[in-house]
Amino acid sequence: MLNVAILDDYQDISLEMADWGILSGKIEITVFNDHIHDQELLIERLRKFQVICAMRERTPFPKEVLDSLPNLKLLVTTGMRNASIDIEAADKLGITVSGTEGLPYPTAELTWALILALARNITLEHKSVKEGVWQKTVGIGLQGKTLGIIGLGNLGSQVASYGNAFGMNVTAWSQNLTSSIAKSKGVRYVPLETLMSESDFVTIHTVLSSRTRGLIDSSKLNLMKETSYLINTSRGPIVDEEALIRILGENRIAGAGLDVFDLEPLGNDHPLILSDRTVITPHIGYVTRETYKIFFEQSLECVSNFLSGAPVRIINS
């Protein structure tokens, strides 16, 4: 019987989302609802498992961790890309890494929720009404404002369509974007510096890589208008978090809507949580019932097929 670990199931919903009972008698499942940052404690927890089902990039699996898990045979990640798994190390250790499909639209929808929350001060007004205060702030409209999109792939293109529907002036930049491609998606290509300095809302939708880590640094943030907002639903390390904290603290920009961070979960005393210029969500861009159903049903499929000797959606060789 294989020992199977399901990690970072914060909502305790993994067993509800798929019929794991079909493998009754073949596997023994342990579901972990908490998260461990400490690498040694993580290794100690996972040492006995032959199969680990990871939730996106919540728990990293660098070479040092994989080397310390001698029983691990199958590592399943939700999604087909996971920058926190050392794929090369897994390959050398004979660990099969399989993935699942996902849905492209939930993160784009959350991005728009954050934009609306910032523009209309929704979280502040909600809190005020609950405290007995009727109307406290004055919001801004979106029509005619400039939306700057960093990364015009699937997610960025969806956000662009929302911006166009709201009558915004939509611009975009990415390292491989051309004016003709941008035009075909209903947006205008601009250099990154222009996007940062002219946009009322800057939203990030590029993937995290060696080229994009720290892309939005202090010099880029300093280009933003005092009335502008930064939204990040991609990956935390794309933005220099310390620089963002400093700029928010100095009232250099109007605010930020953030779903992703350098280290997750955030501590309760984190400056981005304590700031009155942020709207914070706990990395829920992909967290919908529709997405989770795909994640866990296909995670189950990965485990079942591995047991049958025919693994599916293999990410490594």
Q: Where are the domains of the chain?
A: 2-103+288-307, 105-280
Q: Which of 205, 213, 274 is nearest to 245 (CA)?
A: 274
pTM for the full predicted model: 0.95
Region 85-106: what's the mean pLDDT? 97
pLDDT at 20 over 80: yes
CA dihedral 284, 289, 292, 294 (to 10 degrees): -140
Region 65-69: what's the mean pLDDT? 98
Please give the share of the chain, as a percent, with pLDDT higher than 70: 100
Kindly report, residue by residue over 210-224, the tens digit of the pLDDT: 999 999 999 999 999
What gap in Å lies between CA 121 and CA 136, rounded to an integer? 9
Greater confidence, 317 or 184? 184
* Residue 268: C-alpha distances to residues 78, 141, 264, 273 (Å): 27, 32, 11, 7
Instruction: Decide the pairing of beta strands 255-258 and 278-280.
Output: parallel
| pLDDT at residue number 253 | 98
| pLDDT at residue number 45 | 98
pLDDT at 185 over 90: yes
Which run of H or E residues covers position 248? Answer: helix 241-249
User: Would you say 23 and 45 are in contact if contact means Cβ atoms under 8 Å apart?
Assistant: no
What gap in Å lies between CA 241 and CA 89, rounded to an integer? 29
Q: Give the Cα-Cα-Cα angle 26, 29, 33 (nearest 5 degrees).
A: 170
Tokens of 66: 């994989």
What gap in Å lies between CA 198 and CA 183, rounded to an integer? 18
| pLDDT at residue number 282 | 97
| pLDDT at residue number 240 | 98
| pLDDT at residue number 191 | 98
What gap in Å lies between CA 254 and CA 248, rounded to an integer? 8
pLDDT at 293 over 80: yes
**What sections of 131-169 are H helices per DSSP?**
154-165
- The pLDDT mean for the chain works out to 97
What is the distance, to the nearest Å, from the Cα of residue 168 to the centroid of all Cα atoms in its chain? 25
What gap in Å lies between CA 177 and CA 283, rounded to an integer? 27
Region 232-253: what's the mean pLDDT? 98
Please identify every residue annotated as catalytic: 235, 264, 283
pLDDT at 33 over 90: yes
| pLDDT at residue number 65 | 98
User: Would you say 190 and 168 are in contact if contact means Cβ atoms under 8 Å apart?
Assistant: no
What gap in Å lies between CA 304 and CA 74, rounded to an integer? 11
N-terminal to C-terminal alpha carbon distance within the chain: 25
What gap in Å lies between CA 260 and CA 282, rounded to an integer? 7
In what order do the strands lie in the sheet containing 96-99? 27-31, 2-6, 51-54, 74-77, 96-99
CATH number of 2-103+288-307: 3.40.50.720
Tokens of 155: 């997610």
CATH fold of 105-280, please?
A: Rossmann fold (3.40.50)
pLDDT at 317 over 80: no
What gap in Å lies between CA 97 and CA 239, rounded to an integer? 29
Residue 56 banded pLDDT, cuts 50, 70, 90? very high
